Each structure stands twice: as structure tokens, then as C-alpha cells.
Amino acid sequence: MQNGKRNALIWLRNDLRLLDHYAFHHAAKECEGVVAYYSLNPNHFTETPWGFKKTGPFRSQFLIETLHQLSSDLAKKNISLIVETQAPEKGISHWVEQLHITDLYYQEEWTREEEVTAQAVRNELSPTLKIHNYCDQFLFHPDDLPMEIENLPEVFTVFRKACEKQSKVRPCFPEISTFPKENCLPQEFKIPAITDLGFSPIAQPPHTAFPFKGGSRAGQQRMEHYFWETEKLSFYKQTRNGLLGLDYSSKFSAWLANGSLSARQIYWEIKEYEAQIQKNQSTYWLIFELIWRDYFKFISLKHQDRIFQLGGILQKDYHWKNNPKTIQTWIDGETRESFVNANMIELQKTGWMSNRGRQNVASYFAKDLLLDWRIGAAYFESQLMDYDVHSNYGNWMYVAGVGNDPRDRKFNVRMQAERYDEGGKFQRLWNQQTLFE
């Protein structure tokens, strides 16, 4: 990149796409040169205090696939993607100097570990560098909310109704133009394999409910299938509590979690579907779920570290147990409840679990086994392919009774099994562990 010109480095975090992307849109308009950077931060693969790897094999594999797709998408625009396995504060400062970078772009994060990392990056950079940080992971942009963050309602319904009445979803950013060939860096950057991250190769069982690959292309193909090819969107509200098969729910969460699809892309595709095919309760309900996702992000923005504390955002004085043997029976699917076991084995074998399953196993962990809910949340963080810090901890707080559920409900796991797994097909499938040996 040329000295004396405006050159941008886009530090990618959980925004691993080219389309509908604030930084690529603005950097392409404002700078002569653009390069993208992603750090497979070693801190993301360390063990938590609970003994789980922060990022397990399933999310790692999905991330690697996403990076390959993103690298390919960027290459078509003559933008290089630098991928490194060192801490971003080391890598970014090096490339800023080497490439004569004048502008650094990155998506704003506010949970503690992410903010500590961002501060470490900033500390290594010259004060003359222009920094652009932006909010690009929401459906409703924070500036468009009908209330201040400190006044955010503690009940979802109040938040949802206010946003639906007073806020608008912004349009997607248009596709950027292709840069000149000389924008590409002369060297190629290898994306690590799963084995380079310390994991064995993954073989998904043939009946997994989530056989999909990472990356924006796979996410867009899934949207095409679920909306336009099968019109399953028209039945989403009736099927979303399913347990078996590919199409009981949209399955968008993993692409949303690492930002290879944006919430805006999905929203505007739903609106197009409503205009061309059908508008009904199901099409609305998928938007409803996107608003829930936003709500948990705003809750964590409002309450900060409280979402990781035992008492949650309610600061309840709860006394939980911490019995390693009991925790392990839950992890291994060896509890007294067949429905819990089947869901936990599915998670262990595939990195996926249905929404209905997640609510039940979390409730059983916190309300029946009376275990510290943060341990369950940490296990989900390690194991889930679609882990999102805000939704994960928001949902666990909710189920444990220290979050945004005004009714503090407890799931009757056996009644739930009878209702949602009538005939026990799901339980038989996953409790027959010999199928996987």
C-alpha cells in the first residue's frame, strides 16, 4: 500500500462478511487502499475457570469455514485477508506500520474481555491513526432506539412494542466496487486447519439437525432454501419448537453469531418474502426472534458485567451447588431425565441443540439440580456452534431466574418431552449412543 495515501485496515471480529458491512462500505468510499485482518486470538482457545475450552471444536470448524469463504469473497474485490494466530494487539500494530495504515475500522464490542482486547490494540497504536469504531451487529441501531440504554425496559414485551412502534430498521449497505489489482498484498495468508487449533477433525453424524457449513455463502443458501425454495418461513411459528430435521427452524443463529449474515439482511429478506409470497404470524415471528436477539445485546450493554455474575442482573442472593460429579452427568447425558440426556448428547456430538432443548436442559441444570448456572453457560459457550455471548448469558439468566423473566418459571421436563417429543423419537435417536461408537 502506498505511503501518503489513505489506507484502511479493517479489524474483523464477529462481522465476518463482505455484504452489508459498515467498514467495507465506508473504507471503500474514503480510502485508496483496504486490507482486512482477523486474529484467531489464542485467548479464545484457553480454558475457562470452569474447566471448559472457551471455543470448542464445532465453533472452531465453523469459524475456519467462514474465514475461507470470506477470503474468497474479498479476493474477488482485490482485498487481502490477513489471518493470524497471535493476539490482535501484536498483529495489528505490526501491519499498521508495515502497510502505512492511516485508518483502523472495527466493530464495537462492550463485554469485558472484548473491550480489554480493544484497549490493548489501541494502546499499541500511534495517536495519529484515525480510528473508526461502529455498531453493526444489531437489527435496530442503538442510535435509533426509542429510549436511552440506561432506561431500557427489564421486560422484553415493553422493549419490543416500543421498537416496533417508534424504530425503523436501516437499509443494508450496498455492495462495494472492486479495487484495483494492486490493492492485493503480494503474500498469501494461510487459514489454519482445525488440527492447528488443537482439535481432531470433525465428522458430523448423518442425522444431525445442523449439517451446514460456515460462511456467508452457506448462510445465504440457507436463507434461499428456507424462504424461497421450500417456503418453510410461512410455517415457522408452528414448527419452531421442533427437535428433528433440518427445517423445523431457520437455523440462522450460527451465521448471525459470527456475523457472516447480518440481522438486517434477514429482516429485509423477510420483508421481500412478505411482499411476494405471504405475510402471516410466522413471518412476523422470525422478526420477533431477531428483536429478542437485539434485546439481549442491549441488556448486556446496560448491565455490563452483571450478566456474568451469579445473581445476574437482578442481583439475587442465590446459593447454588457446585458438584463436579452431578455436572458431569448432565454434560454426558446421564441424568434421570431421558429428554435432558438426548439433548445433551446431541450437543456433545454435533455442537447444536434446538431452542426447546436449550430451555429444558438449562432449567433442569439450574432449577432441578440447583447448580451454578454460570457453569452451564460456560459449557454452552465451549460447545455451541452458534454461541453468542449476549444471547447465551441472557437466556441462561432468564431460565435461572436472575434475568429478564418476570415469572421465574421452571420447566417440567417430562411434560415438555411428552408435548414436544410425542412418541419419543428424538429421545430414542440420541440416547442410543452405540450409533456413534
Residues 382 and 52 sit within 8 Å (Cβ to Cβ): yes
130-171 pLDDT tens trace: 999 999 999 999 999 999 999 999 999 999 999 999 999 999
CATH no. of 7-136: 3.40.50.620
Q: What is the DSSP string of 131-147?
A: EEEE--S-SS-GGG-SS
- What is the radius of gyration, based on Cα positions, of the chain? 22
Q: What is the pLDDT of residue 433?
A: 57
Which residue, 270, 209, 217, is CA-closest to 239? 209
Q: Once rounded to an integer, what is the mean pLDDT over residues 92-108? A: 96
Segment holding 208, helix H or strand E: none
Q: What is the DSSP letter of 53?
A: B
Strand order in the sheet with 130-134: 81-84, 33-39, 7-11, 103-107, 130-134
Which residue, 287, 303, 263, 292, is CA-closest to 149? 303
Q: What is the pLDDT of residue 1?
A: 67
177-230 pLDDT tens trace: 999 999 999 998 999 999 999 999 998 999 999 999 999 999 999 999 999 999
| Fold adopted by 137-170+215-302 | 1.25.40
Domain 309-430 has CATH 1.10.579.10: yes
pTM for the full predicted model: 0.96
Measured over the CA atoms of residue 199, residue 205, residue 210 and residue 216, the dihedral's sign is positive
Q: Count how many Cα atoms sit within 13 Å of the Cα of residue 367 in the half-sphere of its side chain.
A: 19
Q: What is the DSSP letter of 47?
A: B
Q: Once rounded to an integer, what is the mean pLDDT over residues 336-364? A: 97
Q: Show the cell assigned to 203.
A: 465428522
pLDDT band at 436 (very low <50, low <70, confident <90, very high): very low
375-412 pLDDT tens trace: 999 999 999 999 999 999 999 999 999 998 767 789 99
Q: Is the pLDDT at 69 greater than 90, yes or no?
A: yes
Q: Is the pLDDT at 437 greater than 50, yes or no?
A: no
Would you list the domain boundaries of the chain? 7-136, 137-170+215-302, 309-430
371-382 pLDDT tens trace: 999 999 999 999
- Percent of the chain past pLDDT 70, that is, above it, reads 98
Q: How far apart are CA 307 and CA 301, in angstroms?
A: 10
Q: Show the cell assigned to 154.
A: 427489564
Task: For the beta carbon of residue 157, count every other beta carbon within 10 angstroms.
Answer: 10
Q: Is the pLDDT at 237 greater than 70, yes or no?
A: yes
